[in-house]
Structure 1
Amino acid sequence: MTGRGRTAPGALPVLGHALPLGRRPLDFLASLPAHGDLVRIKLGPVPFHVLCDPDLVHQVLVDDRTYDKGGAIFDLVRTLAGNGLATCPHRDHRRQRRLLQPAFHRDRLPLYAEVMSSEITAMLDGWRPGRRLDVLAEMNGLTATLATRTLFAAHLDDATFAELRQCMHDALTGMMRRMILPWRWLNHLPTPGNRRFERARRRLRHYVARLTTDYRRTGVDHGDLLSILLAVRDDDGRALTEAEIHDQVFTFYLGGSETTAPLLSWALYLLARNPGVRERLHAEVDAVLGGRIAGHDDLPALDLTRRVLLETLRLYPPGWLFTRVTTRPVELAGHRLPAGSVVLYSPHIVHHRADLFPDPERFDPDRWRDDTDRLPRGVFTPFGGGARKCIGEVFATIEATLALASITARWQLDPLPGARTRLAPRLSSHLRSLPMSLRERRTAV
C-alpha cells in the first residue's frame, strides 16, 4: 500500500504487529497516522486495515451494510453476548433496534436516574476520610451494581451478585487475550485462562436463564430492562426468543458496566492531575448541589461536569478498538479491498491527532464549550456513529454525570505518593488500578 496508506513498520515474522499492539496498544495505534490514512497491520497471518482519517471513519460507520459488524473483536464478544444489538450483523440490526428502543425512551430516563442516585448515595455513604481507595474497583462496583439494578430490579443475593461480577471479569479478560493472540487453536487448549473463560461463560448463561424463568413464572413487570425484553413484540407480533433475550441482557450488561467505570476512573484521575480544573468543578457542584447527591433535574446545570466527561472520552475513549468486515469489494482511500477484508478503527487514533485537537495530550475541558455537533464528521466517535451508534449513549452520559458531580461535591480524591497508573486495555481502556486518598470537602455555598 502506498500513497494514502501503507503497511506499518515493525512487523515481526509470524507474529506481525501482535507484540506492540499487546504491550503498548494505545501508543502503537496513535503512531499509525504518520504512515497514512489507511494503514495495514498484521496480527499473525491476518491483515487489518486501520482507519486513521476521520472521513474514512465516517464513511465506514454510516455504511453498515458494506462495512458490517465482524472481525476478531466482534467474533469474540459474540462468544459471550451472542447476537445482541451491539454484535449482530446488518440483517438483524433494524429489527433489534426497533424492539429495544422503548427501553431507552426519554420518559424512562428519570426512573433510571433515580436508581443511579440511590446507588451513588449508598457508595458514598460508605467512604471515610483518609481512607485509601482503589477508585477503579469502586467505580467497577458502582457500575456493575447499576447495570444489575436496571437490568434486574428483582435483586440478586450478595453471593450471586459477587459471582456474576467475577464471571464477567474473567470473561472480559479472556476475550481480550484471545483477540491479541493470532492463533485461534490456542483458545482450545486446557490452560487455566481458557478454563476460567469457559466456566465464566457457562455460569453467566445459567444466571440469565434462571432469572428469565423466574420473571416469566411470576409475570410481574418490575419496570426494568428484562421486563421490557420479555414484553416487546415486533410488527408481526413475535416476542424475543430465549436466545435473543440472553444476548440482549449481556449486551446491556457489557455496555453498562464495561464503559462507564473506566470513564469515571479516568475523569477522577485527570481532575487530580489538573487542580485548576478541579477547583472550577468544585465551584460548579457546590453551586448546583450544595453537597447533596445529583439527580436528573440537575443535569442541565452541570455544564463543566459534562465537558470534563467529554474531554475524558476524547483522551481515553472506553471503546478503544473495533472491527468491521467488508461484505463486497470496495475502494477505500484509493485502495481496492476484496470482500471479507477486516477494517479496524479506534477512536483513540483520531482523538489524538494534533491537526484535529491542538496539543492533543493536554486535558482541556474548555475544548467543548461549543456544541459537539459542529465537529467534522468522524472526529469524535466514543459511542460509534451511523445507525449502529450506541443505543445507551444518553443512559451512560446521565450515569457518569450524576456520579462525577456527586463524588466531587462530597470528596476530593488525590493520587497516593508513588502510586503507578498503568493501562490494561480489555474491551475498554481500563486502568489496572487507581489508588487514591479521600479528603472530605466542605461545600462552599
Structure 2
Amino acid sequence: MPTVPVVPGRWPLLGHTPSLLWQRLRFTAGLAGRGRVVKVYIGHLPVYAVTTADLAQQVMTELSGKFEKGAMFDKFRPYFGNGLVMSNGAVHLRQRRLVQPAFHRERISGYAEVMRRVAEDAIGRWRPGEVRATDDDMQAVATAVVAGTLFSSGLSPERADQLRRWIPVVIQQGLVRAMVPQALQRLPIAANRRFDEAVRSLRSLVQDLVATRRADGADHGDLLSMLVMARDEDTGEGMTDEQVYDEVVNLLTAGIETTALAMAWLFHELGANPAVEERVLAEIDEVLSDKPATLQGIQQLGYTGQVVDEVLRRYPVWLLMRRTTEEVELDGVRLPAGTEVAFSPHAIHHDPRYHPDPHRFDPDRFSPERVAAMPREAYLPFAGGTRRCVGAAFARTEVLVVTATVLRRYRLAPVPGKPVGQRVTGAPYPTRLPMTVVPR
C-alpha cells in the first residue's frame, strides 16, 4: 500500500482543527499539492482527505454503497435531526422515496409561482436609489419562498423573523461544533448560549407547525401536507411526527441558507461584471418580454442559467465527510470500515486542472461546447449519487425565477468604497453586500 502523507501543521490534542477553522479555503486548497489522498486530524480523529475530482466521484457514486455520513454529520444530528440530509442506509432510502414526489416537475411548476410572487412582493418595497443589504434581502426572499411552499398558509411575521435569525446560527455554529472537542461545547460562552437558544427556538417552532398540521388533517397542497400524508409503498406506513420534524428542519436549513447565498452572490457578480449583466438583461428582455417568470419561461434562459451554474461553482459548500461501512480501496489505499473520508467541493471547483483561471467569474465555461470538455465529476454543487440534493431542481428554479423577476424591474449596483469579502463557515458568506437599487 502507498504511504499516506500526514499534512504538516498538526497541533497537539487539536490536530489540524485550528487550520481547518482559521484558514479553511486556503487549507483545503493546499491539500492537492500533498497528494491524491492525504491524512488530516480533527482533534485525535484521523481523516483521509481525497483531493481529486475522480476520487470524490468514487466516494459519492461508484463506491457510495460502502459509505455513510461521517463524523461531522454525527455531531450535527442532535440539532438537525435524522432527516434526509443526515440519515444513512435504509432510513435514508425510505425517507428519500417519501420526500421525492414533493420535488417532481409538476410540483416545481407550482412552486415557481410562489417564488415569483415572493420576489415581486419583495421588490415592491424597494425604492429607486436606496442602498439595500442584498444578502439580508435574499435571505428574506428565501425564507418567504420556503414558508409559501412548505407551509401554504405562510408564516406569521414573528415566525419568519425567528427563522431568519436562528437558522444561520444553527448552520454556522453547528459546523464549528463539529470540529471542536465536546468539552468546549459546554463552556458557558456567548456563542454556545446563542447556539443552544437557536436550537431550542427552531425545535419549538417546527414542532408546533407539525402538530398543528397533523391535527388539521387536510391536504393544503404544500410540502408539509405531503410529508404528513406520505405513505411507504411497501408498508403503507407514514412518518412519525419526529420524522416529519426532521425533514422539515432539513428542508428549512437547506432551502433557506444555501439558496439565499447563491442569489446574493449572483447579484454581486452581476454588479461586478457589467458585460455579463448586459447579456443577462438582454436575454431576459428577449425571452420573457412582458411575461412573468414561469418554469417554462426560465428554462429558455440559456445564458442566465450559465450564470447560475458559475455562481454555484464559485461559491459551493466547503467540506463534506463520509465514513466507510466496509473496507474500501481508494487510489490503492485500503481503508477499513469506520474510516473517515473528506473532500472539499470548494477546492475541486477552484482547481485549475479542471477549471482554468478558477477565480475568474466566467459563465461561458458552462457553454454547451465547454461543458462537453469539462470532467463531469469536477462540478458538484449538489453532491452526487444517491446523496445528490433532492431539492436541486427546486433551488435552481428559485434562483432563476427570483433573478428574472428582479432584473425585469431593477439592476443592483455595487456601492463604491464598500468592498465585499468572504467569511467561510460551511459555505462562503459575504462579509457585507450593500447594493444600490437602479431602475431599468
> How does the TM-score come out when normalised to structure 2?
0.94
Q: CA RMSD in A?
A: 1.9
* 1:89 Cα deviation from its structure 2 partner: 0.9
1:40-64, CA deviations, whole angstroms, 9 ceiling, x for partnerless residues?
2222222221121111111100133
Structure 1 counterpart of 2:328: 330
* 1:389 Cα deviation from its structure 2 partner: 0.7
Distance between the aligned counterparts of 1:423 and 1:221, measured in 2?
A: 42
* 1:428 Cα deviation from its structure 2 partner: 2.7
Distance between the aligned counterparts of 1:165 and 1:149, measured in 2?
A: 15
1:206-241, CA deviations, whole angstroms, 9 ceiling, x for partnerless residues?
222211221122222111111001111112111101
* 1:31 Cα deviation from its structure 2 partner: 1.6
* 1:406 Cα deviation from its structure 2 partner: 2.0
Q: Is this contact kept in 2: 1:258–1:428, CA < 8 A?
A: no
Q: What pairs with 1:283-302 in structure 2 (closer than 5 Å)?
A: 283-290=282-289, 293-302=292-301
Identity across matched positions, percent? 38
Letter in 2 for 1:414: A
Structure 2 counterpart of 1:432: 431
- Pair 1:55–1:210, CA change in 2 (3 A): same
Distance between the aligned counterparts of 2:211 and 2:29, measured in 1?
A: 47
Give the number of aligned pairs: 437
Q: What pairs with 1:25-64 in structure 2 (closer than 5 Å)?
A: 25-62=24-61, 63-64=63-64
Q: Is this contact kept in 2: 1:119–1:142, CA < 8 A?
A: yes
Distance between the aligned counterparts of 1:419 and 1:291, measured in 2?
A: 34
1:364-393, CA deviations, whole angstroms, 9 ceiling, x for partnerless residues?
111111175774342111101111111111
Partner SS, residue 331 of structure 1: strand
Residues 1:191 and 2:189 are matched in the alignment: yes
Structure 2 gaps, min length 5: none
Q: Is this contact kept in 2: 1:55–1:377, CA < 8 A?
A: no
Partner SS, residue 310 of structure 1: helix
Most deviating of 343-352 and 224-233: 343-352
Structure 2 counterpart of 1:221: 219
Distance between the aligned counterparts of 1:112 and 1:206, measured in 2?
A: 26
Partner SS, residue 380 of structure 2: coil
Structure 2 counterpart of 1:123: 122
Q: Is this contact kept in 2: 1:330–1:338, CA < 8 A?
A: yes
Partner SS, residue 190 of structure 1: coil
Q: Is this contact kept in 2: 1:48–1:343, CA < 8 A?
A: yes
Partner SS, residue 200 of structure 1: helix
Q: Is this contact kept in 2: 1:352–1:360, CA < 8 A?
A: yes
Distance between the aligned counterparts of 1:41 and 1:176, measured in 2?
A: 17
Letter in 1 for 2:344: S
Most deviating of 137-146 and 211-220: 211-220
Q: Is this contact kept in 2: 1:43–1:180, CA < 8 A?
A: yes
Q: What pairs with 1:49-198 in structure 2 (closer than 5 Å)?
A: 49-62=48-61, 63-72=63-72, 74-181=73-180, 183-198=181-196
345, 348, 362: which is aligned to 1:364? 362
Distance between the aligned counterparts of 1:52 and 1:106, measured in 2?
A: 35
Distance between the aligned counterparts of 2:409 and 2:38, measured in 1?
A: 46
Distance between the aligned counterparts of 1:410 and 1:204, measured in 2?
A: 35
Distance between the aligned counterparts of 2:138 and 2:405, measured in 1?
A: 13
Distance between the aligned counterparts of 2:402 and 2:435, measured in 1?
A: 17
Q: Is this contact kept in 2: 1:292–1:409, CA < 8 A?
A: no
Q: Is this contact kept in 1: 2:354–2:375, CA < 8 A?
A: no
Distance between the aligned counterparts of 1:299 and 1:368, measured in 2?
A: 17
Q: Is this contact kept in 2: 1:11–1:17, CA < 8 A?
A: yes
Distance between the aligned counterparts of 1:241 and 1:307, measured in 2?
A: 41
Distance between the aligned counterparts of 2:220 and 2:10, measured in 1?
A: 53
Structure 1 gaps, min length 5: none
Q: Is this contact kept in 2: 1:307–1:369, CA < 8 A?
A: yes
Distance between the aligned counterparts of 1:120 and 1:335, measured in 2?
A: 50
Structure 2 counterpart of 1:248: 247
Distance between the aligned counterparts of 1:206 and 1:69, measured in 2?
A: 26
- Pair 1:39–1:170, CA change in 2 (3 A): same
Letter in 1 for 2:150: L
* 1:16 Cα deviation from its structure 2 partner: 2.8
* 1:293 Cα deviation from its structure 2 partner: 4.3
Letter in 2 for 1:64: S
Distance between the aligned counterparts of 2:271 and 2:383, measured in 1?
A: 28
Distance between the aligned counterparts of 2:343 and 2:271, measured in 1?
A: 30
Partner SS, residue 107 of structure 1: helix
Distance between the aligned counterparts of 2:177 and 2:324, measured in 1?
A: 22
Q: Is this contact kept in 2: 1:64–1:90, CA < 8 A?
A: no
